[in-house]
Amino acid sequence: MSTATSTVQIFGDLRPQDMLYLGEAALRTLHISAISITAGTLFGIVFGWFMAAGNRFVQFCVNSVLDVFRSVPLLIQLILFDSFIAIAGYPMEAFWSGTIVLSVYTSALVASVARGGIEAVPQSLRRASRSLGMTYWQDMRYVVWPVGIRAVFASWLGIALSVIKDSALVSVLGYVELLRASQILIGRTAETFTILGIAGLFYFALSFPLSKAGEYIEKRWQRS
């Protein structure tokens, strides 16, 4: 009498469809990063202006609030915010929870950069613009921002690149971005090195164009 033996395959093989799955996850990473960087930059500029131009009370209040977001780890902010809105009875999709927290976190970082840009403009240059008859807002538009942006552009670029990588933390909320998709595939295939290597290439593909665009802009400014 012969005994039939069979093997049970616990892990599956890496398939071409899995590459498409990672590609879609990379687009979701790009989506949430682009929204967060854009919104965070706009609000950060406003907060930075308050910190540079407001009275001492306004500066203290804005800086104190933003210090909380700069100091508390992003992972804790994500979990606390998502838990709080759920307890309050207003649960959100993981995408929106992650976008809100990531945008606020980005704005807290950009605010310091924006304030530095405003304060980097020499007072003598600002007094000269006002002596020419410019209003405060004309001075901000034609003098402060053009000069200030050049002074802090590299710092802003570093923040933007960091946000792309920090977006991986949104996976704790269940949002299937690039890192979460990689974890799912690793759990199915056990191809840890291969999948993380591919995920790293996707992150590089998302960050490299932004980095090169920043270098190109800086070189243009140096020649002008």
Longest dimension (CA), the chain: 105
Q: With CA atoms as reference, report the closest residue to 167 among 149, 180, 150.
A: 180
Of the pLDDT bands very low, low, confident and very high (cuts 50, 70, 90), residue 11 is low
At 157-173, the pLDDT tens digits run: 999 999 999 999 999 99
In the chain, the N- to C-terminal Cα span, in Å, equals 89
Is pLDDT at 56 greater than 60 in this prediction? yes
- Give me the amino acid identity at 64: S
216 vs 10 pLDDT, higher one: 216
At 192-202, the pLDDT tens digits run: 888 999 999 99
Question: Per 3-state DSSP, what percentage of the chain is helix, strand, and coil (rounded to 5)?
Answer: 85, 0, 15
Contacts of 12 (CB under 8 A, 6+ apart): 188, 189
d(CA 60, CA 150): 27
Residue 193 CB burial class (10 angstroms; 0-12, 13-18, ≥19): exposed
Q: What angle do CA 115, 69, 175 make, to 5 degrees?
A: 120
Least confident of 13-22, 93-102, 173-182: 13-22
User: Hey, CA dihedral for 56, 57, 60, 63, is it positive or negative?
Assistant: negative
At 74-99, the pLDDT tens digits run: 999 999 999 999 999 888 999 999 99
pTM (2 d.p.): 0.88
CATH for 27-218 (2.130.10.10, 3.90.79.10, 1.10.10.60, 1.10.3720.10) = 1.10.3720.10
